[in-house]
Structures are given as structure tokens and as C-alpha cells.
Amino acid sequence: MLKFLSKWILCALAIGLFSTNINAQNYPANSPVALNGKLKVSGTQLVNECGNPIQLRGMSTHGPQWFRNCYSESSLDVLVKDWGISIFRLAMYVEEQGYITNPSGWRQWIDSYVDYCGQRGIYCLIDWHVLNPGNPNAHKDDAIEFWKYMSQKHGQKAHVLYEICNEPNGVGWSDVKNYATDVVKAIRDNNDNTVIIIGTPTWSQDVDIASSDKVNGTNIMYTLHFYAGSHRGELRSKAQSALNNNAPIFVTEFGTSHASGDANYSPDETKTWISWLNERKISWVCWSFSDKGEVSATLVPGSCNSRNWSNLSECGQLIKGLISENKIPFTACDGNNNNGGDQNQNNNNNGGDQNQNNNNNGGDQNQNNNNNGGDQNQNNNNNGGDQNQNNNQQQDDPVSYPTLVQNINNGDVYRIVNKKSGKVMTIENGSDLKQAKRDENDKKQMFRLKETDGYYFMQNDDTKFMLTNKYVNNDGTKISQEEISEYDNPSQKWSIKKVNEWFTFSNKSDYSASKVLSVENASKQDNADIVIFTSNNQDEQLWGLEYVYTPTAVDNILFKDCVLTPTVISNEFHIVTSTGEETIVDIYTPNGVHCKHIEKECTYDVSDLAKGNYIVVVSGLDGNRILTQLIIKK
């Protein structure tokens, strides 16, 4: 009897009677997966197993290592039944307390949520969340091991998709492509048909570059990410170029805010993006279903602890509405793949021709505008150049400059002088970077250059804000200012390079380093914009530094998420954070003797210390902040 039961148990296990995993036969009736089956790629379109074009709409987790209490079967039920999502993304961070700290534990977590999604009949996107470091090759061995496991475990499930590198940054497409080629091979050794989505450089914005040099294989798509508060028509143009190159796009992450995830809530631009995606049946997933205290979170802080899944933020209310608005209905497969395929092919051709005509018309219109604008700019440059040349010939006095320094002293304040015009950088209209006639007393014309990790913050001495290109590196992009970011924000960091006796400025977010700060149209006029432009070593792109002063008793430390302002008040030294955040302060003598340790304060009284130089090391309470040093002169 025992022998018989053993054989019966083995047979039962073989056919899955005791398995809780979902297979193609038991997805809930009329659910997205039951209607569409296993997905594939046709041309630029994501299609169901019958070949009908579909669009998925859904939500992404934030990092489960930080917001694990936001994710449960009950919260997933709300997203499926109340919001109407058809896909749920599992953002598995690689570092930052993520996968590599506990591979087996995080694999089990993913396995559970793959099954939870299957039990509800929605698609599950497994995301290898490359972010820091930005080069996916830094953990390629871990990635290959991860994807071998996932493709063996979940590859045959109809509801699973793979995203193999979230947001590569600081590397070019050739590096990402080499990584993707190896990972795709590892997956395809186990599973030959699950859709694979590949991240693109510059935080998954360079889909146009990837589209010109695609990864070999079938059922491959390319990642596009946008944040409506930072990315607008320029990025949509890049996306359209990729589509025109027959590269299928999947928006696996977008936000309603600035690219940092916080500030600059932009509902109108979000709607513009969603309309653009819906018109092209491009699938999209929103960041993030969490209660983090930031604009892009869809829940109000504290909602996850109280399990109040209907406590929506302003962003959450918007996204919930957009998921259900003008939803493209799923059509069930009738089992006749050929008929469905032929019907789909006609629809795709008709829709494709219509879209192609629209795209071409739009492209021609843009091209004409660009050409006209380019011709106009070219004429202006030529006319302006001839005019300047004639003026220079007629005038006795050339452009004059103040005394310029040849080296940067970290933390000092400078005026930044253009070689062509002799004018200086300034902030006008509250935010815009322009050039103006030098004014000895105008602090808007003064910038503190603070070096960190080989790059410089350019902090305006009047506003204390940082210069930024907001991740846009197109020719003509205007430069503005914003508060120092709460995360490591490359768009606020600048590479300063010496060119003979002058300097050039390029933004860290431009990984090619081919664009530099330039006066628009090489103008010598006051109020001319300072923009990003392709480097050509012309005088309008060269800058000199006029030393103004060295901050001493009153200084500003560039902290990771705020500006710390040390101040002398009545012979007492205080440090106050601009955000009111508590910090840890340790004070040392120059030879390393520890003098004082203060925790959980915002203002620090050090009047008991003798006069002299000290080193102040400031860090956040989470222990993960970047330490900052300061010499105190009392």
C-alpha cells in the first residue's frame, strides 16, 4: 500500500496536483491573462498569443526592502479589482539593501508575488532594478544567475515578463548591449519566448540610440522611462525615432514628478504623455505604489502601516483615473491563430500606415520647423558674426575681462565670465541662467564651485540653488536652477575642464560629454540665454573664473538632501539644516582628536570649544549619508 501511495504521490507531483503555481489552464475567467495568453512582439507592437495588439497598464512597487509593508495580497486585490491594473512590476533593486544582500530570500519574495499576480490573472514584470551602480555589467554574474533561476522557475508561465536592467546610467549603449546579449542568451537557454525588455542608457531615455543597433533575438523590447516634471517633447521625439526604426518600446516606469521622484508635480504633462502612449498602444507602468513622502508616491504617508489602500495621494488619484480612462478592451483569442494573425496583420498595417502618415507628417512638420529654425539661427550667427567682426574692426577697444584665475579652489565663490562677450553668468527671472554686464554687488552673478567625486556643484550665491540641465542634453537646452536634490542627482553636477587659459562646463548626465555650456547664438547681448550645445571650442563656449571670496565663518555645506548653514551667533557656532532634518555631528581637531559628538539636533552649540581650526563631519541619521568636512574658523 505504501509503495502504491508513493507512486501516486510522484505522479501527482509530476502533473502539478499539489502545486500552487499558476499555469495556462487556471487563470481567472475574463482576466487579462485568460483573454490574451502569453504575449509576444510583432513589429513595434506588443501582441497577445493570437497576434492582436494589446496595451498593458499598471503599477510598480518601490524598493520592497524599504516598503515591504505596502505589498500584500490585500493591496494587490485593490489594485486589480478597484484600479483595474493589468500588470504589476516587481522592482528588485540590485544593491541598496536589495538582491545581492539576500539572494535566496529575495528570490522567494519574487516567487510569491509572481504567483499572487497569476492567481489574479494579471501580468507580472520581474525587474532587475539596475540604478546604483549604473553600469549593468558591475553585477553581470549576479544578473545571469538571477535570470537563469527566473527563466527556469517562471519561463513557461503565460503571465510573466522580464525587465533585465532598469536604468543604465553613466555608460553607453555598447556596454549595455554587451550585457544584454549575455543575459538574453542565459534566459533563452531555458525559455525561448518570454518577452524580454532591455533598459537603455541615460536612465532608459536613449531608446533612439538603441534602436539603431538592436540586440539580436525575438520578443525583445526596449525600455523608455520618463518623469513628467522633467521630460517632455524632446524625449517623445527620441521615442518616436525609435519607433520609426522599428524598435518596440515598453514604458516600464514613469512618474508624475521631477526625475528625482519628488517635487514639480505635473498632472497636465502626465496626461499629455499618457495620451501619446495610448495612441500608439505602448504599455505603461507607473512609479510607484508606495507611501513614501514624495510626489510620485500614490499613497499618503502612513497608509501602508494602517493598510489603508484607498488613502490616495494627489498622484494616486490621477493615476487610478488614467488606468481606467479610455481603456483599450482586450479581445479573447478564438483559438484560430491564423485568422487572428491575418486579422491583426491587416489592423496593424492599417493602423501602422495611419500612424506612419501621422508620424511622417509630424516629422516633416518638425523637420521643416527645425530647418527653418536652423537656417534662421545660422543666418543670425553669420549676420551677428559679420556685424561683430565689423564692429571690432571699427572699435578701438576689444572685449575686456576682469582678473581671471587659472585654478579652482574648492568651495570658493567666483564670477564666471564668457570669453566672447566678456559678460558674466547670472540668474534672471527667478530661475533662468543668462549672461549680463558685470555688477560688483549682484550676488546673483556669483557662484560657489564645490567639488565632490570629481564633479562640481554650481551653487548660486544669492539663491543657494544649484544649476541643472534637468537631464536634457539637446542642443539649445536652457539651464535653470533648483534646490539641491535629496538623492545623487547627476543633472546638478558639472565637469569643469581647462582649455588653455579658459574652462568648459559639461553636465554629468551627458555621458558622452559632447555638450557644453554656451551663450545662445554666440550673442554678446545682455540677457542672452546660456544653453547646452555641442562642443566646437568657439569663444562663446569658453569661460573664465574671477575670484570673489572664500567663505569662512559663514559657509554652506552641500549635504545630500539639504544645505547645512554653519553660522556664528554671539560667539557660538551653529549648524542649521534647510529642511530641518536631524543630523549627526562629530568635531575633530586637524590631527584627528575627537572633541565632540552630537546626535539628533538641528542646531549645534560649540561655544565650549577653544578658538582654532576644526573639522566638522556631518552625516544623516540613517548612516548612509555622504560625510562632509568643514574647517571652522572662529
* Active-site residue list: 167, 253
For residue 285, list its beta bridge partners: 58
Cα separation, 315 vs 313, whole angstroms: 5
Answer yes or no: are the C-beta atoms of 254 and 283 closer than 8 Å: no
Pairing mode of beta strands 123-129, 87-93: parallel
Which ranges in 189-232 belong to alpha helices (H)? 201-204, 207-211
Render 259-290 in DSSP notation, one character per residue: TTSSS---HHHHHHHHHHHHHTT--EEEEEES
Three cell numbers, residue 574: 551653529
Query: Torsion angle of alpha carbons 262, 264, 269, 274, nearest 10°?
Result: 10
- Left if phi > 0, otherwise alpha if psi is -120 to 50, otherwise beta: which for 250? beta
CA distances 63 to 127, 151, 396, 485, 488, Å, are: 11, 22, 64, 19, 17
Cα separation, 332 vs 468, whole angstroms: 49
How many CB atoms lie under 10 A from the CB of residue 55?
18
Cα separation, 230 vs 265, whole angstroms: 10
Answer yes or no: are the C-beta atoms of 292 and 61 closer than 8 Å: no
SS3 state of residue 434: strand
Tell me whether residue 564 is exposed, middle or buried, using C-beta atoms within 10 angstroms of its C-beta: 0 to 12, 13 to 18, 19 or more.
Answer: buried
Three cell numbers, residue 478: 536652457
Helix (H) / strand (E) element for 224: namely strand 220-227
Cα separation, 79 vs 88, whole angstroms: 9
